[in-house]
Structure 1
């Protein structure tokens, strides 16, 4: 009888041990990829200002006062201008990245192309909202501001998709602050 219990106990123990997986931490990035990551994420963070400004503009544009609409258009213009100013540094870092494989070179080319397209959209965003933030243009903001903001947001989302594929190709994992590594699900 005791042998039978021992066999059952050992079989249960070996099954639970087989289910365990060793999760090793990600290897540290070399200096080149770390500086690339920092430059690209600093630029990506400026795009969140556009997202926030567009959300405020879209939130209650029907009931907002003319002064509030002009203020939101000004904030949107400033957010687009901030991103336009910080894009060249990120582009320079992407071009300087050591792309050692064909896939990395292709993804880098896609990223630079996406940055060029985004720069055009951001410059258009800045000029559109500069015109709309002038005194007396509140009704123009109410009528056309959301459409212009949506165009800028669409361009940023397209860029973010290309950025994500580039970072994956370069072996750069980006996790939110405070996030822990997830164990492998089995």
Structure 2
């Protein structure tokens, strides 16, 4: 889920920051520009970098000599090569997620910035929707398995879409070692 990737970016710096600590300012501006942002499309498929969210700049590898574009602003543009920690999702990856919402169609879960949906068709057949309980849930006939809001489940990612609205996945809890994770006090 977290990977190190080498990326490149052009960073603009205002003239008031030219001086002894220019490299430090370039690194600060780079972090402000990329951390928490999503890398989409052309970044991924064409050059072998997966799509995902940049969590942090790990290390700046090189800062090339700056150029002054002819746009009249006086800002210098520096080409920066850096290594970043990226959050991405892989098909068939197994992750632990928190259930945010339960309805008759399935479970809406989250894992950080990732939203996952588990359809009723991707659940074991013994789980049935129960809206007569205090809070809506999926449970088995004996009631010893109960998946409701704020429970933690282990899912397998079936597919994902990464766009400007975030990372959305479909997932399954059907399979060995998937589904409800027992509370730590039961170990």
Fold conserved between structures, TM > 0.5:
no
TM tier relative to shorter chain: under 0.3
Decide which structure has greater helix share: 1
Decide which structure has greater strand share: 2
> Greater Rg, structure 1 or structure 2?
1
Q: Which has the higher contact order (CA 8 A, sep 6+)?
A: 1
